[in-house]
Each structure stands twice: as C-alpha cells, then as structure tokens.
Structure 1
Amino acid sequence: MSEKSHPCHWIAQAKQIENWVEPTPLNQDIETDVCIVGGGYTGLWTAILLKQKSPQLRVTIVEKRFCGSGASGVNGGCMLTWATKYPSMVKMFGEKQAKFLVEESERVVFEIEAFCKEHDIDAGLRRNGTYYTATNTAQCGSMAPTVDKLEELGINSWRKTDEKELNGNTGSAKHIEGYYSGAAGSVQPALLARGLRKAALELGVEIFENTEMTELKYGKPATVITAQGSVKAEQVVLALNAWMVDKFKEFKNSIVVVSSDMVITKPVPELLKKSKLAEGVTVVDSRIFVHYYRDTVDGRVMLGKGGNHFSFKNQVEPMFNQHTKYLPLLKNSFDNLFPHIGASRSAPTGLEAQTVRPRASHSSAILNSKTIFSMALAIRVTA
C-alpha cells in the first residue's frame, strides 16, 4: 500500500516525509539480551530507556508491520494525561498508585517535548494545553469533584475557565463549561513514532519490521519465532497493546478492543483563524465516549469520537485498518461543533475519513513515566 493510498492521514503524511522504503524482515536466527515484540510507543520507549540506562545491552525490536503502524501511529495525537481518570484509577489501583500515575503522566508530557528537541524529532508537537468541557447541562459539574481531589492532594494542574476564554480558544460555541490544563498538547502521532524509531536506531537498538512473531517459546532464554528467523533472548517484552489477545488468549478477559473513529479536513488555515480554535490545544468533551478535536500544524481540523465499534471476541478485526464506516456520524458531530467551518464534501473544507483506531482498555499499571505516556497516547480513547 503506497503512502497515498494508506487510510490514515498521519501515516500517509509520515511516509511521504520519510521517503518511505519498505523494510526488510528478519531472515536469520539471532541472539539478544532483550527482545521487544511490538514497535509502537510502548516498545520503542522501552527500547530507548533500556539503551539509555545500559548502553551495552543488546536490545532488539520485532514489529509485524512497521513502527507506528498500530494505535501509536493512527491515534488522534492528543497529548493527554490520566488526571481526569483519577477516580477510576483509585478503584483499580488504590490512592497511592493513582496519585503516582497522575503525577508521572503529567511530568512526562514535558519530558516528551524535551526528548523531541534533544533528538531533533519534528513531530508537530505543541504543548499548548487541553480543555475538558461540558456541552450540555447534564455534563456540567462532572469534572469538579476530580479537580477538588487533585487539589487536595497537591497535584492539580486544572483551572476552571470563564466563558470568554472557553469561546475564544475552543473554536466552538457548543461548550458551556470547561477546565484547562497546561500539561497537555498535540502531536502528529505517526511522526512521533517514526522519530522514536530513528532515535532508537541511533542508540543501537536493532529493529526488524515486517517481522511478525508467530510463536513464543518460553524458557531461559526464550525464543521469539518469526516467519524467516528467530530471536533468542534472556528477556522478552510484549508491547502488543490491543493485539495481545490475538497472540495470547489468556488476555481475552483483560482487554476490550474498542474503535475510535476520526475525520480530518483539508488545510483550512483562514477558516481556522476565524474559528478561534487556539493553536496546538486539544479539546475533549464529557461524554462517556468522548468527542475530541484539535488543529494541525498545516491548518487542518481533526475530530474523533470513541466507542463506535466493540470488537467481537476482542480481536483486532480488518475494519480497524480501513476507512471508518462512521463518516456520516462524524460529519454530523463536525457540523454541530463547527457550523462556521462546514463539513460537506461540497464545502471548501471537505472531510477525509481516517482509518479506524483500535483502543485497548485494560487495567495494567506500568511504572515507567515514558511508558505511561505511551500507554496514554496509544490506548486512551482521547488519544
């Protein structure tokens, strides 16, 4: 599939910028210290951190398609934290761990920004904050208890906005209440994934794309079997996100695979200026399956909505790599939020259906800050 025909705008754009060359799969038997299965954010960050901590360590990534081809490269690019999920995390992990996750997920937003600057990764990253809003009276006040608790714990980054700020920065008159946090922003997700791949290679990580794990042989060492070779490793990291169930049926009751569907406009910089959508900010409403949107560096508007499709038996179905079938639903949402921009194909903007993004909901806590961020960006419905 060429970059022009790829169903995800982010990946098509990243391939074009990169002057894409089809990667060569692993075709021999090799040995390594750590084999990471999965080349998304979780796998790439894990490899980078391992090499930074222990440069002598042999670290190898095997990836079924290409780095960033999964949820990491096709999400909405909303750099959000887990602060709004504090009550849910308390129920799952307890207060101490929930507090830790909020603090780390916010701190790492700044670390990601610094890492991109240090390694010259141009991923369109703009740490300009996020607005968490209510679009009807039933949603009003829903954020207040969480903010109050975060304030009590001394870890609150949110402030309530007035009507003038909300209308002046969110680009839509539909928001009637809002909170703002500066520990957030937006990024071109595929460019970030490909940038992390480049940084990992520069650190000495071996990466084999187009290399699917067909079998995992347990032992010391363990062996990752692929179609044309194998990787024998002292340790194996499974960074498969929503694809865990495909390989390991024991996770079928721990992961729920849900779609998050997106549309993106053509470049409309002049309309964006008139819309009063602040550059680089992300906006998320208070629905159970939220709407989320943002602008892009090249003057587009991206809108997404989670929870449209729940996968049968939690398998990553073929529809997750195709254009969304929910374009009419998304178009209606777009028209409702941005009547001044317009969404029909006959309008100047037009709407392009993004590839459907699989979202894996699960309850595992990973204790590394950058991995926490990668999980948030790759897994959360608002990502």
Structure 2
Amino acid sequence: MSTRVPLSDGFINGEVSFWYRSSGVPAPRQRLDGPLSADVVIVGAGYTGLWTAYYLKKSAPGLRVVVLEQEFAGFGASGRNGGWLTGDLAGSHELYARSHGTEAAIALQREMFASVDEVIAVCAKEGIDADVVKGGVLTVARNTAQASRLRAHVDEARAWGFGPGDLQLLSAAESQERLRVAGTVQGSWSPHCARIQPAKLALGLAEAVRALGVEIYEGTPVLSIEPKRAVTPYGVVSGDFIIRATEGFTSRLQGLRRQWLPMNSSMIVTEPLPDSFWETVGWQGAELLGDMAHYYMYAQRTADGRIAFGGRGRPYLYGSRVDARGHTHDWTVEALWQLLVDFFPAASSSKVAHAWSGVLGVPRDWCSTVHVDRDTGLGWAGGYTGHGVTTTNLAGRTLRDLVLGEQTALTALPWVGRKVRAWEPEPLRWLGVHSMYRLYRTADARERSMRRTSVLARFADLITGH
C-alpha cells in the first residue's frame, strides 16, 4: 500500500465489507442436502431474493418458498453497497417512456419514491435496526461544467414527475449549510433518500423471512437454471417458479455470461472522526452525498461517526469475472483516499480502517428489468446499475404480483417484461467499458477549467449507451 494512504492498525482489505465488521462475517447456515420441490424457488439471498420471499409469504402464507444461496444471505452487493436507500430510478426515464409513454415512466418514478418509505416501514414493523435515517441526498457540483449539468438535471427531472418538494436546486451557500464540501459551487437536495447500514438490513431481512417459514439454504451454489428446475451440486430443486435474483453474479450462471455486465465499485471507510471534524463540516442531517463528476463518488456519515466513501475502482474484469470476497486493489484505495481528503481536507488527519469492493449488474441499455414467464416458470429481476437498495424492494413486490398472477399497478410499470440485448463478446466488452471510464476520468480532469461538459464524456456515453 502507498505510504500516501494512512492506514489504521487494524486495517482490513476485503473480508466481504466493513459492514460486517461489528457482527463478524457470517458462516453459511443450513446447506441443501438433497433434491426437493417447492412452489417458488429463488436463486440468490440478497435483497431481491429476500424481499420477494418476504412479500410472497406475507400475501400467500401457504406457499412453500425456498431460497438458494451460494455463500450466505447478504454476501453480494446487498452487504457491500454504500447504504443509499434512494428514490433515484435504476434506469433511464427517456427509454422507459419511449416504450410505454411518459406517464408510465412517471409512474415508475413515483413508485421508487414510495419504495423508500416502504423499506423504512418494514424495518420498523419487523424490528430491523439498520441505522436508518431519512436525511435526503445532497448532490454537489465542484466546477462550472458540473454545475451546468446539475441545473440541466434538475430542469429535466421536472418532466419526470419531480416537483419542487422532490428536488431542490441549491446555491453554494445553501449546500454548505448542510455539508461543507470543499470547492462546492452549486448543489441539489432531495428528501427521497435514507442512510442504511447494508449488512444490518440484509441480515435482519433474512431473519424476518425465516420467521415467516421461508427455507434458506446457504452454501448451496446453483449451477444452472432451467424451466421449473434449479440445479445444485447437492440435488435438483424443482418448483412452479424459479426466480433468478443474482444481480452482479449472474455472469457465473450457465449461458448468462453476457446478460448483465458485473460492474465493480469500491469503498473505503475512515476511523471514527472526532467532534471537531463534524463541527467543521456539518453533516448533522446524515444526508447521503454524491457529486456531478462523470467518474462519480458516493458517501455517507455512518452511525458511529465515520465517512464511508465509494467510487469506481477497476470497473470491469475481463470475461465478466467477479472478485470473491471484496478485496480491492491498492491503487483504488489510494484514489478514493485522495478524493475523500479533496472533498474534506479536515479528514486528512484520519486513517482508513477498511476497504472493499463489490459488483453490481448493468444491462446493455442501463435499465433494470423484472419479468416472470408463466409458461416456463422462469423469472428474474435486476440490472439495478447501482440503485438496488430501493429498487429491490419494488422488484420483490412486483415479482410477488407476477407469480401470484395478479394484474396490479406494479405489474403495469414499464420495466416489467422489458427485453434487453446481451452485451458484446470479449474483447469488445472489456475494451468498451475501460475506454468509457478512461474517457470519463480525462473529461473530469479537463472540466476543472471548462464551462461546459467535455466532448470526451459525450463520446463515452455513446460508446456504451449510458
């Protein structure tokens, strides 16, 4: 590790994520020990799988619901994310409107807003202590080009159902009343976001699901998914419905390597910061923090007074490979630390306590989908492009309605049944992603002295359709 990154004595790289630091990384519980059958079989015990199981058993207690998980519940992105329970759409309003109309896209956005409150309500009802604080999200622009994009974003949001109470444009002074980020020239704030502790939500939801009678088999990898069958090394699990809830790990399944690209994201967390730091920067409302850079960051103030700070590391591994247990590269830790102290110079006297990485699922058109084929029994949800903490809840409720054969407002949303073409074969996939992010990094550097968005960033958007 570079000497430019101050590390705490107990620094850890990987071990899934910092979010398991207090509880310890769970060991897999009961493993499947032979073939069985169920009404609904869910592959993956992350948020998508757990929410789907939760709502199915709440609505139809007599269903036998089985969840199969290769590691333990919350091992993937559900236990590694930045803790943003956000109402941001996991996809493009414009693309959803293109296929279903503007009103349908607006309806999807309003459901995303409602889903933030739904997750908070379930946590309260089920006694899940996930460090939830609904402090909203502050987005900062730190140069003229970023400020121009931020104003355009707020203007565009009005067309997609954001009223003044849903998204506010802030001056530099108004932004710094909430949180003093160095170099802020403009900001925006939305109330539709809450801080969570990701692992606490995943573990608490898993316990709530078990209490409802759902069977979760951990340490049970699924080798392939077929109509009405999930094949594991320990036996075939058959069911009327087989729901794939594997998000960034989907590429590991037979025949699905190009379905969703596993995009890498990395985080660091500081040691607990002293009261003098918080007096300097503010952040009393526990707002989530993002920026308008192309190579963007995301952060939260944790419940124990740290900064958890994330961004892109090595964005994609050749052949859609994924890391196993969250280890991240030294240069990524250094890049995140340098950006963190650029945002908060007063944090330079702190140290990094933990670093980790995870993967999120990215469809070719960057729009999430949910689907159930009642003839084959195959269903799925995912491709959340980094906005999965909230979107998984909406997916779980939608999958419930689709499995139960109910026609509801949720099943009419424009992401239901959406068809997306596969990603290109290698090496085009690797070249495209790495070219895109190299261009974004260069564009961010150039925009420090520009008034408009760099043409390089616009070219990067064209490469991948982002």
| Common fold: TM-score over 0.5 | yes
Give the structure 2 partner of residue 102 of structure 1. 109
Superposition deviation, residue 84 in structure 1:
9.0
The alignment status of 1:148 with 2:180, answered yes or no, reads: no
**Distance of 1:38 and 1:281 partners within structure 2:** 30
Give the structure 1 partner of residue 65 of structure 2. 59
Give the structure 2 partner of residue 377 of structure 1. 388
* Matched AA of 1:366: V
Superposition deviation, residue 223 in structure 1:
2.3
Q: Which moved more, 1:182-191 or 1:151-160?
A: 151-160
**Distance of 2:297 and 2:193 partners within structure 1:** 17
Give the structure 1 partner of residue 83 of structure 2. 77
Give the structure 1 partner of residue 273 of structure 2. 268
Structure 1 pair 98–195 and aligned structure 2 pair: CA distance change class (3 A): same
The alignment status of 1:120 with 2:127, answered yes or no, reads: yes
Give the structure 2 partner of residue 355 of structure 1. 356
* Cα deviations by residue, 1:172-201 (Å, 9 ceiling, x for unpaired): 122211110001021111111111101111
Structure 1 pair 143–366 and aligned structure 2 pair: CA distance change class (3 A): farther
* Cα deviations by residue, 1:281-334 (Å, 9 ceiling, x for unpaired): 11110122311111000111111112632121222244x631343111111101
* Cα deviations by residue, 1:132-153 (Å, 9 ceiling, x for unpaired): 2211111112133343343345
* Matched AA of 1:351: V
Superposition deviation, residue 214 in structure 1:
2.0
Structure 1 pair 177–10 and aligned structure 2 pair: CA distance change class (3 A): same
Whether the 8 Å CA contact 1:35–1:61 is kept in 2: the answer is yes
* Matched AA of 1:10: W
Superposition deviation, residue 372 in structure 1:
8.3
**Distance of 1:7 and 1:243 partners within structure 2:** 14
Superposition deviation, residue 7 in structure 1:
4.6
**Distance of 1:35 and 1:279 partners within structure 2:** 41
Give secondary structure in 2 for the equivalent of 1:354: strand
Whether the 8 Å CA contact 2:265–2:311 is kept in 1: the answer is yes
CA RMSD in angstroms comes to: 2.7
Structure 2: gaps (5+ residues): 1-11, 373-380, 392-466
Structure 1 pair 354–77 and aligned structure 2 pair: CA distance change class (3 A): same
Q: Which moved more, 1:50-59 or 1:138-147?
A: 138-147
Structure 1 pair 206–81 and aligned structure 2 pair: CA distance change class (3 A): same
Give the structure 1 partner of residue 370 of structure 2. 366
Give the structure 2 partner of residue 159 of structure 1. 168
The alignment status of 1:332 with 2:356, answered yes or no, reads: no
Structure 1 pair 192–137 and aligned structure 2 pair: CA distance change class (3 A): same
Give the structure 2 partner of residue 256 of structure 1. 261
Q: How does 1:80-229 map to 2 (within 5 A)?
A: 80-83=86-89, 86-87=92-93, 89-90=95-96, 93-94=99-100, 95-156=102-163, 157-218=166-227, 222-229=228-235
Superposition deviation, residue 250 in structure 1:
4.1
Structure 1 pair 185–378 and aligned structure 2 pair: CA distance change class (3 A): closer
Residue among 43, 51, 55 paired with 2:49: 43
Structure 1 pair 226–198 and aligned structure 2 pair: CA distance change class (3 A): same
Whether the 8 Å CA contact 1:225–1:231 is kept in 2: the answer is yes
**Distance of 1:86 and 1:234 partners within structure 2:** 32
Residue among 5, 18, 33 paired with 2:39: 33
Whether the 8 Å CA contact 1:172–1:275 is kept in 2: the answer is yes
Q: Which moved more, 1:254-263 or 1:43-52?
A: 254-263
* Matched AA of 2:360: R
Whether the 8 Å CA contact 2:30–2:216 is kept in 1: the answer is no
**Distance of 2:264 and 2:175 partners within structure 1:** 29
Superposition deviation, residue 85 in structure 1:
5.7
**Distance of 1:272 and 1:89 partners within structure 2:** 41
Structure 1 pair 260–130 and aligned structure 2 pair: CA distance change class (3 A): same
* Cα deviations by residue, 1:22-47 (Å, 9 ceiling, x for unpaired): 41211122211000000001111111
**Distance of 1:5 and 1:173 partners within structure 2:** 29
**Distance of 2:111 and 2:174 partners within structure 1:** 28
TM-score by length of 1: 0.86
Whether the 8 Å CA contact 1:39–1:63 is kept in 2: the answer is yes
Give the structure 2 partner of residue 234 of structure 1. 240
Give the structure 1 partner of residue 327 of structure 2. 322
**Distance of 2:311 and 2:105 partners within structure 1:** 26
Structure 1 pair 46–84 and aligned structure 2 pair: CA distance change class (3 A): closer
* Matched AA of 1:160: L
Q: What fraction of aligned residue pairs are identical, expressed as a percent? A: 25
